[in-house]
A and B are shown apart, each in its own frame.
Chain A
Amino acid sequence: METSTNIQSALPGAGTSAGVFRPADLKRRARPLEFLVQGFLFFCGVLSIFTTLGIVYVLGRESALFFTNSEVNVVEFFTTVKWLPEIGHFGVWPLVNATLMTSFIAMLVSGPLGLSAAIYLSEYATPHTRGLLKPTLEVLAGIPTVVYGYFALTFMTPLLRAILGADTVQVYNNASAGIVMGIMIMPLVTSMSEDALSAVPRSLREASYGLGATKLETAVQVVVPAALSGIVAAFIIGISRAVGETMIVALAAGAGPNLTFNPFKAAETITGHIARISGGDISYASIQYESIFALGLVLFVVTLALNLISKAVVSRFREAYQ
């Protein structure tokens, strides 16, 4: 007893009136600055949630106004095929159809090209060529979309018209917009797919070579299936990007909703329509203004669903080789 008290009193921060040992209590001290900072940082993190809530609230509220308007009803919106806001026809299909068509063409271009480039970069290219080709492709990804729009209108459209004839191809058409959109999305598909391919362990390739497979057989029959979830995810993100892309279609796909399945004709997409309508001076009380929000909601829901599916594909079907 005697000795232990002595030791205690020798320690700093001990020596209380009762003579009972208590360790220096650093943890309990109030630190208002720490608390404030942590609060601010938490606020920064939560702000992203507010952004999402803001999007949902704004789109939802104005869309509700739109759908409760006497001129519109929800059934008509999703079932009829005429979009003429001036005379009160609000059938969303012409716009959706054009969006699907441009996105489909874009994926026809970016899917095969992007995947092939990814296979080449990951399986065939020497480190030197890779170091040369990859950054060049990444430059494509950094070019603003409005520049692609210019490219579609002044290069791709004349090219298509020269090849297929000016009678078949209109000045504004979905094919040109779709192809250029495909070029724009290709680097995204390439880099995501390449990440997936490179993540496949070396041992799988070596096992395949050991069984006598050629490089191509290894790449296509072993590596690609093993990385399939990542590749599918890349494609889905690509589609989502194509659906939300605005400037290329606003410049090159044509103004004016048009239900057509001919890719060489002008047809306005959802995004193109929003851009055109809001580009003019519209009054806040008009039904056109509210229709922007309904279309935005469609866009938001579709892209969100695609992103969630892509994430689910990765986590569900990923082959973990460890």
Chain B
Amino acid sequence: MSAVTASSQLPEDRAFKQYLQGRRRVGWVWQSLFLLATCIGILALMALLYNVADGAFGYVAYEDKVDAATISDRPLEGLSQEELVAVLQANLSRGAFNKLDDEQPFAQRSQGDVYNLVLERVLQRKVVAAWSLTDSLTRRAAIEAELAEEHPNARLTFRSWLSPKFLQEPMSSQPLAAGVRTAILGSLWLIAITIAVALPIGVGAAIYLQEYADHTRWYNRLIETNIYNLAGVPSIVYGILGLAIFVRALEFFSSGAMFGVTDSNGRTIISAALTMALLTLPLIIVNAQEAIKAVPDSFRQAAYGLGATKWQTTWAHVLPNALPGILTGSILAVSRAIGETAPLIVIGASTFITVDPSSIFSKFTVLPIQIYTWTSRPLVGFRNIAAASILVLLVLLLALNATAILLRNRFSRRLY
């Protein structure tokens, strides 16, 4: 820069052009760097999605300790539920068989459930190795050679870990038989109750702050600041709060003892849902406030002019017009709750549950908890079912967000 300013006369044409070129070059380099940074973010997203897909499909090798041919002369998949129970009875000790029957009577178990039991207890099928999608596609010959050397008895198949069966089966200690049925149901229960609790309170608070509160009062300003700060509290702290209040202090309520449920402690769906409600409240309030703020004042004045009271105005004019915005914001807040894991770990979501949740006082597990436990297990195959459950979770989130976007689009087409 000094080259230009130093000379007292106009800069020499050539030197000036060179200097300008240099400045432009620097500008171009930095612009590329800025673009690169943006692209790195997008590349990271691609890598993440690729990585998940990579784990959810691929070759898997498994070994049966007992050959299926020695147990039944027909393929096991084709046997009916009764025949499979007979196989179990013939091959398990009486004690083991009765214990299974005690857990859940065989008459109530589905064909798929019993089939899994046969695989697990009679054949003792185990995954010995699993490969990623990339490996499976590019190194097929090497995989076969490797397998022939290390596990000569193992069978190799290409497996989509994400399958209809994976969605329908309950938990299992064997990755081949495991499914996310209980986790999906747990997530749906949790979300339903969270919405039922958080939405009315959140919208109520937003209405209060936007329509009723006198912002010159200190307590109203305190509420606003407080909500802003609550939104920044780490989710695990909410978990600690839930553990102390809902799980422990209110155990007589959250375990269902108050209502005659006897077989559980405070670590139930209702405890988790109330904690999640507290966690999502600040987000719902802030979003609902924005939506209410967007309703033009002329609507309110028209209603007052006709003699409506404040609540009549709010209920009949402000709320209906703010509703799409409120719903959009709430869906986004709820989609955060669906993916939230840390508070549920602290509250004590169960990691291994084979029974569908039946009431708000049931023990439960949710998709993120399953992903967490399966990812942290080093045994072969568990990472793959973790990847498959991540796909399920992402699809669920995508569906929710798509709904939110549809609502938003409908909302923005309205004309005032």
Contact = CB atoms under 8 A, between A and B. Distances in A.
Contact of A296 (B34, B35, B236, B338): B236
B343 to A, nearest CB: 9
Most buried by B among A48, A117, A153, A279: A48
Interface of A: 26, 31, 33-34, 37-38, 40-49, 51-52, 54-55, 58-59, 62, 112-114, 116-117, 119-121, 124, 133, 136-137, 139-140, 142-151, 153-155, 183, 186-187, 190, 214-217, 220, 237, 240, 243-247, 250-251, 271, 274-275, 278-279, 281, 284, 292-293, 296, 299-300, 303-304, 306-308, 311
Interface residues of B, number: 85
Interface stretch (B37-45, B174-182, B253-261): B37-45
7 contacts: A31-B309, A45-B208, A51-B241, A51-B278, A54-B245, A120-B35, A293-B244
A1 B336 CA distance: 72
Contacts of B232: 237, 240, 303-304, 306-307
Contact of B375 (A116, A137, A149, A240): A149
B205 A146 contact: no
B339 A146 contact: yes
Majority-rule SS of A interface residues: helix
The 7 closest A-B pairs by CB, nearest first: A244-B234, A144-B339, A44-B204, A116-B37, A120-B34, A246-B342, A216-B27
B311 interface: yes
B368 A144 contact: yes
Interface of B: 23-24, 26-27, 30-31, 33-38, 40-42, 44-45, 47-48, 51-52, 55, 200-202, 204-205, 207-209, 212-213, 220, 222-223, 226-230, 232-241, 243-245, 248, 278, 281-282, 285, 307, 309-311, 335-336, 338-342, 345-346, 348, 368, 371-372, 375-376, 383, 386-387, 390, 393-394, 397, 401
A296 B40 contact: no
Contacts of B228: 307, 311
B396 to A, nearest CB: 10
A187 B42 CA distance: 10
Contacts of A216: 26-27, 30-31
Nearest to A56: B241
A147 B23 contact: no
A59 B31 CA distance: 48
A58 B383 CA distance: 37
B392 to A, nearest CB: 11
B47 A155 contact: yes
A274 B51 contact: no
Given A47-B205, A51-B230, A52-B229, A140 B55 contact: no
Nearest to B393: A144
A40 B201 CA distance: 9
Given A140-B45, A144-B393, A275-B342, 9 more contacts: A38-B208, A52-B229, A59-B237, A113-B41, A120-B37, A124-B35, A147-B393, A278-B345, A304-B229
Given A48-B281, A140-B44, A190-B41, A299 B236 contact: yes
Contact of A147 (B235, B307, B339): B339
A44 B27 contact: no
Contacts of A119: 34
A155 B46 CA distance: 12
A34 B234 contact: no
Contact of A214 (B27, B285, B345, B348): B27
Contacts of A38: 208, 212, 310-311
A210 B158 CA distance: 64
B241 A246 contact: no
B226 to A, nearest CB: 5
A49 B265 CA distance: 28
Contacts of A33: 311
Contact of A274 (B346, B383, B393): B346
A216 B200 CA distance: 49
A153 B305 CA distance: 63
A251 B201 contact: no
Contacts of A45: 204-205, 208-209, 213, 220, 223
A124 B28 CA distance: 11
A58 B241 contact: yes
A160 B368 CA distance: 26
Contact of B205 (A41, A62, A145): A41
Nearest to B346: A278
B240 A247 contact: no
Contacts of A120: 31, 34-35, 37-38
A274 B278 CA distance: 20
A150 B52 contact: yes
B38 to A, nearest CB: 4
A225 B24 CA distance: 21
A48 B227 contact: yes
B311 A37 contact: yes
Given A237-B232, A307-B232, A147 B390 contact: yes
Contacts of B339: 143-147
A214 B212 contact: no
